[in-house]
Amino acid sequence: MFNLSPQQKVLIVSAGLTLLLIRAWVTAMLLFFSDTKIWNQISNDGIEHSEVGLALIIIGFIISRKLKSNKVYGLIGIGFGLFIDELYQVTSTLFRFSYTPGSLVDWVFLLCGYIFFVATILVINRMRKTSHAR
């Protein structure tokens, strides 16, 4: 139905797996270590997922010009997953509302970001197919 390329499939799956792994880890940390020094150090380490994600996306796109490997698209997908994971926190900072990690709003925001990401890939894929058909 969608007729995605192998690279697009790798991109979507790697972004989704990255989101699931990060959210599972954060949820486990909140459940078991929320009031400990470990969680305070990890949550205040100064490393933002969005920055690391953007760096991986940029590096992946630069490398993808030379290599057409699925591993490169996996790297780009991980970057998008990290970036999407940080959207709620960045948005809460920009619009000055409270950020609660692991909350229902956090999960809904994350799901909407991933759906938008997949929908964007599908729309781009469809536009390319219709332009090649002409």
Q: What is the pLDDT of residues 69-98, one digit of tens each?
A: 888 999 999 999 999 988 887 788 788 777
Percent of the chain with pLDDT over 90: 31
Residue 67 pLDDT: 80
Q: What is the pLDDT of residues 21-39, one digit of tens each?
A: 988 888 888 788 877 887 7
From CA 60, how far away is CA 67, in angstroms rounded?
A: 10
Residue 69 pLDDT: 82
Query: pTM of the entire structure?
Result: 0.83
From CA 51, how far away is CA 11, in angstroms rounded?
A: 19
Tell me the pLDDT band of 16, cut-offs 50, 70 and 90: very high
Break the chain into its structural domains and give their ranges. 6-133
Q: Note whether 117 and 84 are within 8 A (CB).
A: yes
Query: Token pair of 132, please?
Result: 């090649």
Percent of the chain with pLDDT over 70: 95
Residue 104 pLDDT: 83
Beta strands in 1-134 (DSSP E): none
Q: What is the pLDDT of residues 120-134, one digit of tens each?
A: 999 988 888 787 766
Nearest CA-CA partner of 120 in 72, 93, 83: 83
Residue 134 pLDDT: 66
